[in-house]
Structure 1
Amino acid sequence: MQTQVALVTGAADGIGWAMARRFAAAGCCVALADLDHDRTAARAAELGDRHLAVRADVADEASAIAMVEETVARLGRLDILVNNAGIGDSHKPTLEQDLATFDRILRVHLDGTFVASREAARAMAGQGGAILNVSSIAGLTGLPRRNAYGAAKAGIVAMTKSMACEWAGAGIRVNAIAPGYVGTALVAKLFEAGRIDRGRLERRIPLGRLADPAEIAEAAWFLCSPSASYVTGAVLSVDGGWSAYGDAGDASLA
């Protein structure tokens, strides 16, 4: 069986890095893409010589196109794309939010997912493949002060379903995961800044804790693996029960 090539965006840290490690452990040759090329190169070297670091700004169409082209040119093919690259929002009340920040968040999440998926589908033509988009509980439920982020992640859900229906005939499966709160450096900074009360947050989560990035990576690998060969257009919540819990809880948690 030919070695599969997986491209993971936002792979320098956090969930993206956990995904890159998991896909490499499954035998994939991984292209790690991120704006921070030095860190990404170090991560790729940590995985081994056959893996690739690609500098990419997914919010820029030319850069996103070049990212896919470089992956195919240097690794020979593309079987899996994980659209993980993203940025946080300001956590400000709606009346204090500015359009420039709103637009930037949508460009990274929506434009980046759209362009990378379009180019990946072209590369997968005639062979099939799997595309995984990273949404969020913010795209499935209402979270105060998360307008841009929530809108972007909800848009990713809609895009996932549309692409899944359109590309199924070409053997390209498109799914999404919707993580809850994950123990990443970004979330740690929100705790430190007092934007989120960790104790109240964990009490709101039925499983009582944040996810480990490796747990999100396991769900990602499942949806991209042969084990999910009949799954497309699905959105898998990986949130410790957050979206299943009927009581919205304290709005300050968001």
Structure 2
Amino acid sequence: MAGQPVAVVTGGAEGIGFAVAERFAQAGCTVVIADLDGSKAAAKAAAIGPGHLGLAMDVADEGSVTSGIAAILARHGRIDMLVNNAGIADTHKPTVDQDNLAFERIVRVNLQGVFAVSREVGRSMLAQGRGAIVNLSSIAGLSGLPRRNAYGAAKAGVAAMTRSMAVEWAGCGIRVNAVAPGYVRTALLAELIASGRVDQARLQRRTPMGRLAEPAEIAEAVWFLCSPAASYITGVVLSVDGGWMAFGDSGDAWTPLQD
């Protein structure tokens, strides 16, 4: 697979991350799935075809990030695209019941992890004079979701950091953008729905398009921002949310059309 673009996807063993890995492989990239679960990452890399790599990486551990990126560079010699997808959910507790340790853990994974991986990959991209980075933000970072302080703060930080890195590296051939998904049909969301922390019917009524997103739809947006088709786009936070952020009326955003 020499000569093909090398794409790294953190948290790529499931959900949106795996959909991104599949999409980039379909586009002809050599994909590296970096995930907390190294065994699952290796299995999922093998599932998308020969020549792809899966390895263990804890984005909240600086040493793990440094050694992981070094291993990728030793094997492939370069990294052309980075998708910072790794993240964890919060507990949906009232503010007065939240604790500092849980807050810090979410910020360490969802925000500091994006910084650490981007820094290490950025050094390589600066040396080669090109690259594209896409970070996963969220509608939680663009609007106020009650009881989700840590997650919202981290994802808002991702959006701000995306713009900061974008303008710093724009003259160096490196583009940095973000995708802010709405509610996506993943195993994590299914767990939240099953536990009663999320009401799927209400979510769908609140979304103008009246449905959840599929992981592949988010992956398409991520691929676009990494691809040559987005060669003059940097510093953008693209909402892929079925109209969630655009809706400003009272009541439900979606109702079936009546005959």
Which TM class, normalised by the smaller chain length?
over 0.9
Structure 2 CA distance, aligned partners of 1:11 and 1:184?
Answer: 13
Q: Which residue of 1 aligns with 2:81?
A: 80
Q: Which runs of 4+ in 1 moved over 2 A?
A: 247-250
Q: Which residue of 2 aligns with 1:24?
A: 25
RMSD: 1.2
Q: Which residue of 1 aligns with 2:203?
A: 201
The residue correspondences of 1:75-114 to structure 2 (distance < 5 A) are 75-114=76-115
Deviation at 1:72, TM superposition (A): 1.1
Seen in structure 2, the aligned counterparts of structure 1 residues 175 and 24 have a Cα distance that, compared at 3 Å, is same
2:224 maps to amino acid: F
1:68 maps to amino acid: I
Q: Which residue of 2 aligns with 1:122?
A: 123
Deviations 1:61-84 (A, max 9, x none): 111112211111112210001000
> Which deviates further from its counterpart, 127-136 or 66-75?
66-75
Q: Which residue of 2 aligns with 1:133?
A: 135
Structure 2 CA distance, aligned partners of 1:52 and 1:167?
Answer: 27
Seen in structure 2, the aligned counterparts of structure 1 residues 189 and 249 have a Cα distance that, compared at 3 Å, is farther
CA contact (8 A) 2:33 2:45 kept: yes
Deviations 1:201-240 (A, max 9, x none): 1000000000000000000000000000000000000000
Q: List gaps (5 residues or longer) in structure 1.
A: none
Deviations 1:182-206 (A, max 9, x none): 0000000111111111111100000
- Asked if 1:245 corresponds to 2:247, the answer is yes
SS in 2 for 1:159: helix
Deviations 1:1-20 (A, max 9, x none): 93100000000100000000
Q: Which residue of 1 aligns with 2:44?
A: 43
Structure 2 CA distance, aligned partners of 1:211 and 1:204?
Answer: 13
Structure 2 CA distance, aligned partners of 1:127 and 1:27?
Answer: 21
Deviation at 1:136, TM superposition (A): 0.1
- Asked if 1:64 corresponds to 2:62, the answer is no
CA contact (8 A) 2:39 2:55 kept: no
Structure 2 CA distance, aligned partners of 1:211 and 1:71?
Answer: 31
- Asked if 1:153 corresponds to 2:155, the answer is yes
2:96 maps to amino acid: L
2:234 pairs with one of 219, 232, 235:
232
Deviations 1:17-50 (A, max 9, x none): 0000000000000000001111111101111221
1:240 maps to amino acid: G
CA contact (8 A) 2:41 2:55 kept: yes
1:21 maps to amino acid: E
SS in 1 for 2:41: helix
Deviations 1:91-150 (A, max 9, x none): 001010010000000000111110111111111123310011000000000000110000
Structure 2 CA distance, aligned partners of 1:146 and 1:189?
Answer: 17
1:227 maps to amino acid: A
Structure 2 CA distance, aligned partners of 1:120 and 1:193?
Answer: 37
Deviation at 1:249, TM superposition (A): 5.7
Q: List gaps (5 residues or longer) in structure 2.
A: 253-259
Structure 2 CA distance, aligned partners of 1:249 and 1:39?
Answer: 42
TM norm structure 2: 0.94
Structure 2 CA distance, aligned partners of 1:199 and 1:28?
Answer: 38
2:102 maps to amino acid: T
